[in-house]
Structure 1
Amino acid sequence: MSDCASNDRVPVGRKRRHRLSIRLLMLFLAMGMLFIVIIAGLFRGAWRYHFDDAVRPHFEQYVHYLADDIGTPPDLDAAARLADTLPVDISVSGPGISWSSLGSAFDEGRIRVYHHHDSTAGGYELGEYDDDRFVARFLKDGYRIDLLTETVERGGRGTVVMLIMMTLVLLVLYAAYRVIRLMLKPIEELENGVSRLGAGELDYRIDIPRDDELGALAKAINRMADDIEKMLEAKRELLFAISHELRSPLTRANVSLALLKESRHKEELSCDLAEMAQLLGELLEAERLNTRHASLNLQTVPLVELVADVIGEFFADAAIVLDLPDDPLPLRIDTVRVRLLVRNLVDNALRHNRPEKGPVTLRLFASNGTAHIVVEDHGEGLPPECLAHAAEPFWRGDKARRRSTGGFGLGLYLCRRIAEAHGGSMIIESERNRWTRVTALLPSDATTQVQSEASRRRRREANGRSAAFRP
């Protein structure tokens, strides 16, 4: 077996860290934080400019009015009156004076001075007392006057405001995420549509009713799918016509061959013509199953009897181990096509089997309303990367396509199409240099499956588009 190209696909469900919506949200969050930092810096600069030019002169004038009211030397009665009237505590100390509205002098160890200001009315210092009260200190003629504000509540209301702001920010971020998800939803539909088209569902069309770039992209992809479907349909019609037209000269060749005397060359020509007839028959059958109007001639037959008849008619002398149930397994199927399915599966297994490892086995059983036709050989097997291609038309593991190593590459493909036409499927399993197992699944409700497929096709033709049908 030669190496096969990998057919791995990127899964539709991606990890969250790779989602475009998350990345856009993080970008918006980073931009928002940068915007807040810039705005905060601008406001801080503007406030400093405004405070220096407008607020500070009034503040300096105010505190100097208070200091002037106390006077030099300090008037303790005036200081007590101001402490009772205004929300401030006052401390006065100097030569022969040590007074405080608190009853005791301010503790110097609890005062932290961090600014010194000079003004036309005199200098003063600003600081904090216990980190929760502001203090303004004046030094005049050896006296020190401290004006202490009321306690500043740094928690409480500020914490509530902060929590409200954080909640609002989270709500805005969630709303932004939902909007981004809504905006990017068409991209997910595009991804799903492209994946389904790439998987061969060429009758699937992407429905994005938008007039923007994403809508235009969806329409372009749908037009591409239409063109591909038309080209494939034209290819099928051409192949069908060529295969049909070749039957006439093939018939004439067989008639002429029959008039020849018996010889080795006649036998070889007869084998070649038989192979050509088989190839044409498989091509015609494959194209019939691929057409939109393919139909099955359904009738109820015992599947066990059908399988036994195929083995007895075509493989009577072959080494095949049969494992058939006692139940006849009556199934509503197209007898001619299912016989072809069984014949192709067994012929393919015999062609690749190595008798010294064991005989070909054919097992038939029913499970969950589905008949399983399992054919297993003991050949060289298939590598894992080739399993996805084994049921494709004209695929051969031997790229040289030698007659000794296989057929035309249509046998398993035709088996898969017959199983799918009955609403079933086909599974290929293999272990390199040990065995290959092919299982054809035929559901008991084949009639319903075929009718459902036909109705879906009628709806597609009536509506011009619809979702693809998976058998």
Structure 2
Amino acid sequence: MKPRRVKRLFGSVFTRLLLATLAAGLAITFTVIAGFMIIRLHTENDFKRNLLFYTEYLVEDLGDPPDEHRAQEIARRTGMVIRFDHPEHSWQTGPLPRFFNFGRAWIHQDASGMQMGSSKGHHFIRLSHAGGELIFIATRDPHHSDEAIWILTAMAVAMGAILGLAYFYIRRILKPLHALKAGVDEVGAGRLSHRIPEAGHGELRDLAEAFNAMAERLNRLLHSKEQLLLDVSHELRSPITRLKVQLEFLEDADARESLRSDLAEMEAMVATLLESARLRHTAAALSLKSVSMGDLIRSLIPEFKDRRPGVEPGPLVDVPVNADPEKMRSVLRNLLDNALKHTPDDGPAVSISMAHRQDRLEIVVEDRGEGIPAAALPHLFEPFYRPDISRSRKTGGYGLGLSLCKAIVDAHGGSIDLVSTPGEGTRVTVGLLLR
């Protein structure tokens, strides 16, 4: 897994909530365990004290020297193992528990001289008696370990079930956030008509309602802006036409040519605005037909034969797509024109190539020119935006070319992406779906 994906995984709200739930569960578990251990410690102290008192009675009952037959009877009734070690006579009422080892036992000596210890969960008391050593071993139930394993297994299964339920519950709670993210992506891509479901209740529903209200306001604002541009463009056509007529009566030839150039520039800008607005509102402006994009590019390249450093075709494929040939010709012409404008005359030729990627056709226009600053990249497809803040005539254009290209490609249901590095060049990729 890549570091970025790991960072994203552990940075997500879902993962953090799940880890918080897990941490809380473990903290509660450890608290309960600690409480039981403290209770057990106090209980063991009471048990040891009672066992010491009981041992004194047993020692008196066994006599001096201790009676082996009496010890056998006591062992049968209590489950203890009683052992007497003496230089002349030793005996033991039964076998020692499995893995029991006096050498590795924890031992505590009482003020009376009795020694108490435990080994593998078996408690014992050792004391001097009748010239030898008397040992009482309180054996643990042999089924205790099996029961403990089953209890621990049941606890682990229960903890896993609880965490599993918490996992699915948290996913259900955070499901509206996934819809919200998808909505943000859609709005960020320019599809302002997208709305997210206003399901559930509480803060997440309020967030969904606020998002939809924001998208609606943005949609109205942008629609008003585009409608204003459209209306202004329509209104400009009539005075431009009248100016062109009046211009012919101007006697100064130099002034006439200068004004004619300015009017032509204004007329081209108005036409571009109208075309962009029409394409953004509906795809009905397209005249779709089956087009071989390879043939279209081959027919377009001769238009730039006199432009330096020239256009060099790369691999071209003859895969038919459903497109408007004139509109796509306009897109490619605009991209090649931009690439040539920003490439030195003595630099490498601008390349245009194609690639067939499963269900889409990619057209790539690439240059080795001056490149575009990183700060300008997010705004390149906005109307009237130009990285050249001087807006000089050297580079030409009105900042509408790439905006119009995106409008045309979007109307085709495709995509257009641009990557650029200052000093190294720019690469534009147009993706069209194959139907």
Give the structure-2-normalised TM-score.
Answer: 0.78
SS of corresponding position for 1:348? helix
The correspondence of residues 176-325 of structure 1 with structure 2, limited to 5 A, is 176-292=166-282, 294-298=284-288
SS of corresponding position for 2:117? strand
Q: Could you list the per-position Cα deviations for residues 131-178 of structure 1 after superposition, in whole angstroms to 9, with x for gaps in the alignment?
A: 464223455676753222346647544334434433433333333333
Shift of 1:388: 4.9
The yes-or-no answer on 1:32 pairing with 2:46 is no
Shift of 1:255: 1.3
Whether the 8 Å CA contact 1:361–1:377 is kept in 2: the answer is yes
For residue 78 of structure 1, the aligned residue among 70, 88, 97 is 70
SS of corresponding position for 1:188? helix
The yes-or-no answer on 1:149 pairing with 2:138 is yes
Whether the 8 Å CA contact 1:324–1:365 is kept in 2: the answer is no
The amino acid that maps onto 2:384 is F
Match in the other structure for 2:91? 100
The yes-or-no answer on 1:21 pairing with 2:14 is yes
Match in the other structure for 1:175? 165
Match in the other structure for 1:399? 389
The amino acid that maps onto 1:89 is V
Whether the 8 Å CA contact 1:430–1:436 is kept in 2: the answer is yes
RMSD: 4.4
Give the structure-1-normalised TM-score.
Answer: 0.73
Whether the 8 Å CA contact 2:283–2:411 is kept in 1: the answer is no
Stretches of structure 2 that go unaligned for 5 or more consecutive residues are none
SS of corresponding position for 1:127? strand
Shift of 1:258: 1.4
The amino acid that maps onto 2:223 is E
The amino acid that maps onto 1:24 is L
Question: How far apart are the structure 2 equivalents of 1:46 and 1:52?
Answer: 10
Whether the 8 Å CA contact 1:89–1:100 is kept in 2: the answer is no
Shift of 1:213: 0.8
Question: How far apart are the structure 1 equivalents of 2:355 and 2:150?
Answer: 71
Question: How far apart are the structure 1 equivalents of 2:205 and 2:109?
Answer: 66
SS of corresponding position for 1:393? coil
Match in the other structure for 2:61? 69
Whether the 8 Å CA contact 1:302–1:328 is kept in 2: the answer is yes
Larger relative CO (CA 8 A, sep 6+): 1 or 2? 1
The correspondence of residues 128-147 of structure 1 with structure 2, limited to 5 A, is 128=118, 131=120, 133-139=122-128, 144-147=133-136
Stretches of structure 1 that go unaligned for 5 or more consecutive residues are 1-10, 446-471
Shift of 1:228: 0.6
Whether the 8 Å CA contact 1:73–1:143 is kept in 2: the answer is no
Question: How far apart are the structure 2 equivalents of 1:111 and 1:381?
Answer: 78
Q: Could you list the per-position Cα deviations for residues 430-449 of structure 1 after superposition, in whole angstroms to 9, with x for gaps in the alignment?
A: 5655655656555675xxxx
Question: How far apart are the structure 2 equivalents of 1:390 and 1:328?
Answer: 30
Whether the 8 Å CA contact 1:116–1:126 is kept in 2: the answer is yes
Q: Could you list the per-position Cα deviations for residues 31-70 of structure 1 after superposition, in whole angstroms to 9, with x for gaps in the alignment?
A: 33332333333334444555666x6676455434433321
Question: How far apart are the structure 1 equivalents of 2:246 and 2:355?
Answer: 46
Shift of 1:396: 1.2
Question: How far apart are the structure 1 equivalents of 2:394 and 2:288?
Answer: 36
Mean CA deviation greater in 35-44 or 275-284: 35-44
The yes-or-no answer on 1:424 pairing with 2:417 is no
| Alpha-carbon distance change, 264 to 160 in structure 1, aligned in 2, over 3 angstroms | same
Identical columns (%): 33
SS of corresponding position for 1:357? coil
